[in-house]
Structure 1
Amino acid sequence: MENPPPGRRRPGPRRLPPALRLPALRPPSFSGRLHDPRTATVLGRWLGLALAVCFLTGLVSHFLQQPPPWLLGRLPSRPVWGYRLTQGAHVAFGLAAIVLLFAKLWAVYPRLFVWPPVRSVRHALGRLSVAVLVAAAVFQVLTGLLNIAEWYPWPFSFVPVHYAVAWVVAGSVLLHVAVKAPEIRSHWGRRSAGTLALPEAERDGPDRRSLLLGVGAAVGAVTVTTVGQSLTPLAALDLLAPRHPGYGPQGLPVNRTAAAAGVTAQAVRDWRLEVLGPAPYRLALPQLAALPQHRVRLPIACVEGWSADGDWAGVRIRDLLERAGARPGSALRVVSLEAAGAYRVTEMGGEYAEDPLTLLALRLNGEVLSADHGYPARIIAPNRPGVLQTKWVARLEVL
């Protein structure tokens, strides 16, 4: 290449017009006073409480539905409202956790743009643990929300995945708290060392109080407009929940109808209850109705969070088992007419089968069971998840 003549400059690289130039890649800067450790710590306390309640009540629900071997025969049938309380709290705190989780993420998201993104192996592991925590927590609360609405746009089974991810969330939270313990301790209270080190205007100023008040109001609004599905005194305010405790056939909601379960009029036309045991027998509906009838008032509580009381009438399960020659305390397998489904066959421990409140119910609120509530007969037992209160019972097997 020839050199330019003396006195002339070599032409430089051509520059793009300003409109076509790419902006310089610089990490964003945040000047807001609320993206600070004090705000994150306060929101983290609230979120941690909500997640802890969800985890513990979720364990209760899981063990009642799928008891491990060491719990077989030891599950309590009292108080009768136990599952109603724990599952109602599980859903209520889960909905509150959605608000708190996104408020917490808003408070800490500027840290996602720290530059350089990875400073050391320890720093990389810390950021990875936070990524697992955030991903698992968001997945857990959002899939739980869709489960409440009974919408399953995913290919996996909700119950085992929800249970497994709950342990991931719990472990991630404990790890995060352990790593951040010094910072959390420093900003825990108004007079903590880290809080006092903040500028006077940032310690607990009006901006932070306004934010926390707004988050609290949002949590309160979500709770008040949904908790009425299980806390019936607030049923009139049940505006956002997918179920209302007073709506449905015979005054109770229905999750799975007879049509959805494949139980037709033809299937129940020649119905007989079959009881298998040392002395097996069969009973037609008139024969079953001629046996001593007992009346109980029990709630039916669903895993989606709604619950409602009903007046049930029918034959005690323990009387049916005794007639079949079962020993006291025997467990029971219940088989439904349902064509298919995860809960078509369920098992009941002896503590439930022996309870005098556990019925093979034939009537609800003074009327013969409707098809959607399990006609001709269904299980109703105290302190038991609704999915295990088997409808359209065809067979009882002594175990």
Structure 2
Amino acid sequence: MTSSRPSRKPAPKSARKRVHEPARKPFRVPGPSRSALSVLRPPAFTGRLHDARTATAVGRWLGAAFAVCFVTGLVSHYLQHPPAWLADDLPARPVWGYWLTQGLHIATGLAAIVLLLVKLWTVYPRLFVRPPVRSVRHALERLSVAVLVAAAVFELLTGLLNIVEWYPWPFSFIQVHFAVAWVVTGSILLHVAVKTPEITAHWSKRSTGTLALPAEDAVDRRSLLLGMGAAVGVVTLTTVGQTVTPLKTFDLLAPRHPDHGPQGLPVNRTAAAAGVTAGGLAEWRLEVAGPRPYALTLDGLRAMEQARARLPIACVEGWTVQADWGGVPVRALVERAGGRPGRVALRVTSLEVSGAYRVMEMGEEYVDDPLTLLALTLNGRPLSLDHGFPARVIAPNRPGVLQTKWVHRLEVL
């Protein structure tokens, strides 16, 4: 007996598959995504404090730091490499002169790194202004800013690497650093001249410029400046101990500690690095050339009248240490050779195999100063080999690189 209900045949598999498949999307030609297009658009800066008032406030401190660096850098450069017309007039007093100027140079240079980073943060949105060039004057202004930023970054970076004595470049640091300092200074003066109206408008606490933030944002600006000042303070406190020895306990970030080194003093160039060995000093003699030339052994030097002087040894890397030096006044050695102190200069030659300061000259002021010694002792003990045994020059107000070690010849000029 058959059923009266109509029979239901199962649907074909292909039909069932089509029922459950999602609808296919129409084919589209691939193109740049929305995220890719957003990269091509100028970024929208929603952060605050990228205004002219903040840039001016930071710029004041940065400009002051660069000014101190420039002036003290000139002093250091001309003490190390005096032109012929200045060599005999360089002052030997005050004895702490180079200590002060070079210490300021390094301290303000390190502080300027923090200040420059904050300054660049306040103004970097202007890199994305559209159109990038609106006129010839605007193009020249942007070019001058590019030169200023590049030169400032270069100057601070190379100065920082010089402090740690790392020179990963093929050029001479001293000459290039000195030349770029003039570029930085000229660029700053040009920038200030171009921006004078804007700087004037935003110099005071009550800014009148059109780019100023609302008055209620002064608290945020003050917080930024206080944070910047705190960062500068921390950098200074943790590095200046290499120059201001009462703060040496906090000397955490400086590459030198004033108490670390042979006989309690740091050294930049060891005897091994200079190619000087104890064995090579067995027949050492001091040669003094002049109208009445002569030579002295170490015992002969010790037999002469000795003098003592407490002088700082201050290096271009920023560290300074006071020490007690004993030895023969250079003036006495010059007189014995027939020279007239106050009217002669002196050429000093070291035993080191090579080096930019293997031969050094000192002018009349240094030769005539009674504190200028051919030192034989340091803090009451004979010089160690790394500190220049058997004899070295120590003079007041003079860069450490010119306090020649391992002296074997003096020539009265």
Matching residue's letter, 1:30 = F
Matching residue's letter, 1:167 = W
Partners of 1:72 and 1:318 in 2: CA distance? 17
Partners of 1:60 and 1:287 in 2: CA distance? 37
14-23 or 309-318: bigger deviation: 14-23
181-190 or 27-36: bigger deviation: 27-36
- Give the % identical residues: 73
Partners of 1:22 and 1:191 in 2: CA distance? 42
Partners of 1:124 and 1:196 in 2: CA distance? 21
Structure 1: 4+ residue segments shifted above 4 A: 17-21, 195-198
The offset of 1:31, in angstroms, is 2.5
**Which of residues 345, 370, 375 is equivalent to 1:356?**
370
Matching residue's letter, 1:389 = Q
- TM-score, length-scaled by structure 2: 0.91
Find the counterpart in structure 1 of residue 307 from structure 2. 294
Partners of 1:274 and 1:90 in 2: CA distance? 37
Give the conservation status (yes or no) of the 8 Å contact 2:285–2:298: yes
Find the counterpart in structure 2 of residue 31 from structure 1. 46
**Which of residues 338, 345, 360 is equivalent to 1:331?**
345
Partners of 2:36 and 2:367 in 1: CA distance? 73
State how 1:41-52 maps to structure 2 within 5 Å.
41-52=56-67
Give the conservation status (yes or no) of the 8 Å contact 2:309–2:326: yes
Partners of 1:124 and 1:191 in 2: CA distance? 31
Give the conservation status (yes or no) of the 8 Å contact 1:226–1:239: yes
State how 1:258-273 maps to structure 2 within 5 Å.
258-273=271-286
State how 1:4-15 maps to structure 2 within 5 Å.
14-15=28-29
State how 1:55-66 maps to structure 2 within 5 Å.
55-66=70-81
Secondary structure of the corresponding residue to residue 298 of structure 1: strand
Partners of 1:231 and 1:328 in 2: CA distance? 34
- TM-score, length-scaled by structure 1: 0.94
Find the counterpart in structure 1 of residue 143 from structure 2. 128
The offset of 1:227, in angstroms, is 0.3
2:304 matches 1:280: no
The offset of 1:19, in angstroms, is 5.5
Flag the 1:154–1:192 CA change in 2: closer, same or farther, 3 A: same
2:95 matches 1:80: yes
Find the counterpart in structure 2 of residue 4 from structure 1. none
Partners of 1:196 and 1:124 in 2: CA distance? 21
Partners of 1:112 and 1:18 in 2: CA distance? 25
Matching residue's letter, 2:321 = A
State the Cα deviation string for residues 129-161 of structure 1 (Å, max 9, x = none). 000000000000011001000111111111101
Secondary structure of the corresponding residue to residue 286 of structure 2: strand
Partners of 1:99 and 1:294 in 2: CA distance? 45
Partners of 1:201 and 1:27 in 2: CA distance? 28
Partners of 1:22 and 1:382 in 2: CA distance? 65
State the Cα deviation string for residues 273-296 of structure 1 (Å, max 9, x = none). 000000000001000110000011
Flag the 1:138–1:27 CA change in 2: closer, same or farther, 3 A: same
How many equivalent pairs are there?
386
Give the conservation status (yes or no) of the 8 Å contact 1:275–1:282: yes
State how 1:1-399 maps to structure 2 within 5 Å.
14-16=28-30, 22-24=36-38, 25-194=40-209, 198-202=213-217, 205-329=218-342, 330-399=344-413
Mark the runs of 5 or more structure 1 residues left unpaired by the alignment: 1-11
Give the conservation status (yes or no) of the 8 Å contact 1:185–1:192: no
Mark the runs of 5 or more structure 2 residues left unpaired by the alignment: 1-25
Aligned CA RMSD, in angstroms, stands at 1.6
Flag the 1:196–1:150 CA change in 2: closer, same or farther, 3 A: closer
